[in-house]
Amino acid sequence: MIDTHAHIYLEHFEEDLDEVIDRALEAGVEKILLPNIDSTSIDSMLKLEEKYPNICYPMMGLHPCSVKEDFEKELQLVEDWFSKRSFLAVGEMGTDLYWDKTFWEQQKEAFHFQCALALRFDLPIVIHCRETIDQTIDLVRQYEGKGLKGVFHCFTGTMDQARQIIDQGFYLGLGGVSTFKNGGMDQVIPHLDRSKIILETDSPYLTPTPHRGKRNEPAYVSLVADKVSEYLHMTKEELDSLTTANANALFFPAEKAG
């Protein structure tokens, strides 16, 4: 399995990171993809890549909740990093009207800036869209036919929204909410295009049942797989194989071609 979205470089994991990695490997998680947040998270994220090569893979981007007065400076730093070395994707980027509506116009500007980077470097984008899924679908639609690709991370939308996203060629990241009793995903997941779903945890957030309320970690992607496979009437092994192939197609296309 691949946990396509985990923030295990945060302070939540300072005390037991080795054990967290060991539990992930024991649970069958082979790769953990690390979305960046902003300038404050880069060093700790890259240290994980150095410590756990071929397990932890960093992205580079600016999270919408970090789009503030200095967002242009932050975006310049993101662009500078892409000139220094390669990354797996542009992310975590996107839009968010849940926490703060003050910088909505700046969020959209940051979104387009990072889409341009993704197209320049032929990379997928990893989209956060809390309380903004319809607006973000509209933003992505502006790039139709231009080769933009990526994933709507933490998808919790409707079937109609899922169809619109998939019609744009994007993937859906399924995580802990898929296991919530009243999350509503039992009405959506059974009808999704199976070639466009990938698994994630968003560690340390959105912990799946039965650990809801506690810290999330990459090993728990196995619990997400249990529930998603149940919804799709597949064995867990089939679901693991499917979602790993999908994640590899999006994030590691050169390996697939090789």
Q: Rounded to whole angstroms, what are the CA distances from 180 to 68, 82, 210?
A: 32, 37, 9
Single out the residue of 152, 131, 123, 130 nearest to residue 140, CA to CA. 152
Q: What is the mean pLDDT of residues 223-238?
A: 98
What's CA 219's distance to the chain center, in Å? 16
Q: Which residues contact 123 (CB under 8 A, 6 or more apart)?
A: 87, 88, 89, 90, 117
What CATH homologous superfamily does 2-257 map to?
Answer: Metal-dependent hydrolases (3.20.20.140)
Q: What is the mean pLDDT of residues 76-88?
A: 97
Q: What is the mean pLDDT of residues 2-6?
A: 98
The pLDDT score that the predictor gives to residue 100 is 86
pLDDT band for position 256 (50/70/90)? Answer: low
CB 242 within 8 A of CB 228: no
Q: What is the mean pLDDT of residues 161-178?
A: 98
Rounded to two decimals, what is the model's pTM?
0.97
Strands 56-58 and 150-152: unpaired
The pLDDT score that the predictor gives to residue 99 is 83
